[in-house]
Amino acid sequence: MYVETCHIATVQPVAMNRAYIRIGDVSLGLRADSADDLELTREMKRFQTTPPTQCDIELTVQWADRLPKPVGRKLFCSGSVWALHEDHDRFIFDFATPVLGDQPYKRLAVDRKFSAARLWLNRECLPAGRQVYPLEYPLDELLVTNWLGGGRGVEVHGCGLVDHGTGSYLFLGHSGAGKSTTAHLWSSLREAKVLSDDRIILRREANEIWMHGTPWHGEAGFASPEKTKVEQIFVLEHGDRNEVLPLAQGRAVAELFARCFPPFYDRDPLAFTLSFLHEITNRVPCYQFRFVPDESAVSEILDFHG
């Protein structure tokens, strides 16, 4: 059956093949005609799950012979591989790079709740015989973070870990702030489980803030599908000595916002993100942690009792 969707003439897939993943308690169901179109990266395979009763996000993968330019209003340009347009009641994410030609190499159309999505892979850009990962970064992360923005949670740039002797810690930081170094230190010096050394999802669970590991790891390569309650948050900063400093709540919200991934192009999810970050700072003590990247940084945190 041929359908005209998003101005693309494509073959409607029978979509008998299914795959399921769960990231940050967000279930994502994929369907495609061919199992080859559901290939997952090594990191993502750790997040595969059994079929849930109902997926939070349903994604259908199919091929298009070509992808013409989108006609809707352009909402956002990422400055990297993707741009966002609106098309009536949907968002259209186009992924393009000069490496693969002028056209988008794939296009994601998704409803405004980010619960139903369709992905077109462009035959003109993606050579036959080459393995394609439909969820390939950053599409996977865009789907999950946007779904979270609908009043459900937020993803932050951070290293989350559980020390089996003392509790759980979330270390926030920009690139180069020391997240992967922190993950290495704690995993080598302590009996600690690192959920991620780069991306952590925060969600409310029974009036507590919980952090979830993600597949989007940093240089240290830690990516775990586990979760735990957040007990303390530290904003990382390199220093001449180890020092834990208090953060006023307003400052803490701003520091968290500077290290999260908000949907800049959508007012309501952006407002929710700010409100949720404020709630996090109400529920979890936040500090600035100036540190030197050696064993003493771990001792400083272990000796710190708020």
Partner 1 sequence: MADDEVPNKKEPYESPRVSVIGLRPEEAVLGTCKSSSSSGPVGTCTGVGQCRIPGS
Asked if 224 and 45 count as a contact pair (C-beta separation under 8 A), the reply is no
Indicate the helix (H) or strand (E) that contains 145.
helix 139-148
Compute the least distance from the CB of residue 231 to partner 1, in Å.
24
Please give the Cα distance from 268 to 284 (Å, whole number): 24
Please give the Cα distance from 222 to 203 (Å, whole number): 20
Please give the Cα distance from 285 to 274 (Å, whole number): 17
Among 57, 64, 142, 209, which residue sits at the site for partner 1 (rule: CB under 8 A)?
A: 142
Indicate the residue among 3 and 248 with the shorter CB distance to partner 1. Answer: 248
Among 16, 65, 164, 264, which residue sits at the site for partner 1 (rule: CB under 8 A)?
A: 264
Q: Is 131 in the site for partner 1 (CB under 8 A)?
A: yes
Among 114, 216, 234, 276, which residue sits at the site for partner 1 (rule: CB under 8 A)?
A: 216
Among 99, 102, 207, 267, which residue sits at the site for partner 1 (rule: CB under 8 A)?
A: 99
Among 15, 100, 292, 302, which residue sits at the site for partner 1 (rule: CB under 8 A)?
A: 100
User: Three-state DSSP class for 265?
Assistant: coil
Span from 67-75, 138-146, 164-172, 293-301 in contact with partner 1 (CB under 8 A): 138-146
Among 113, 174, 238, 283, which residue sits at the site for partner 1 (rule: CB under 8 A)?
A: 174
Q: Is 203 in the site for partner 1 (CB under 8 A)?
A: no
Span from 51-59, 63-71, 124-132, 159-167 in contact with partner 1 (CB under 8 A): 124-132
Beta-strand relationship, 227-229 and 192-196: unpaired
Q: Is 302 in the site for partner 1 (CB under 8 A)?
A: no
Buried b / exposed e over 105-137, threshold 16 CB at 10 Å, is bbbbbbeeebeebbbbbbeebbeeeeebebbbe
Q: Is 12 in the site for partner 1 (CB under 8 A)?
A: no
Binders in 60-79 for partner 1, by CB under 8 A = 78-79
Asked if 242 and 290 count as a contact pair (C-beta separation under 8 A), the reply is yes
User: Three-state DSSP class for 280?
Assistant: helix
- Of the chain, the end-to-end C-alpha distance in Å amounts to 63
Compute the least distance from the CB of residue 13 to partner 1, in Å.
19
Q: Is 48 in the site for partner 1 (CB under 8 A)?
A: no
Asked if 149 and 257 count as a contact pair (C-beta separation under 8 A), the reply is no
Site size toward partner 1 (CB under 8 A) is 45
Asked if 262 and 222 count as a contact pair (C-beta separation under 8 A), the reply is no
Please give the Cα distance from 210 to 280 (Å, whole number): 10
Among 251, 285, 287, 293, which residue sits at the site for partner 1 (rule: CB under 8 A)?
A: 251
The first and second tokens of residue 268, run together, are: 């309501």
Asked if 64 and 8 count as a contact pair (C-beta separation under 8 A), the reply is yes
Among 33, 56, 94, 255, which residue sits at the site for partner 1 (rule: CB under 8 A)?
A: 255
Q: List residues near partner 1 by CB under 8 A.
A: 41-44, 78-82, 95, 97-100, 105, 126, 130-133, 136-138, 141-142, 145, 157, 174-175, 198, 215-219, 221, 251, 254-255, 257-258, 260-262, 264
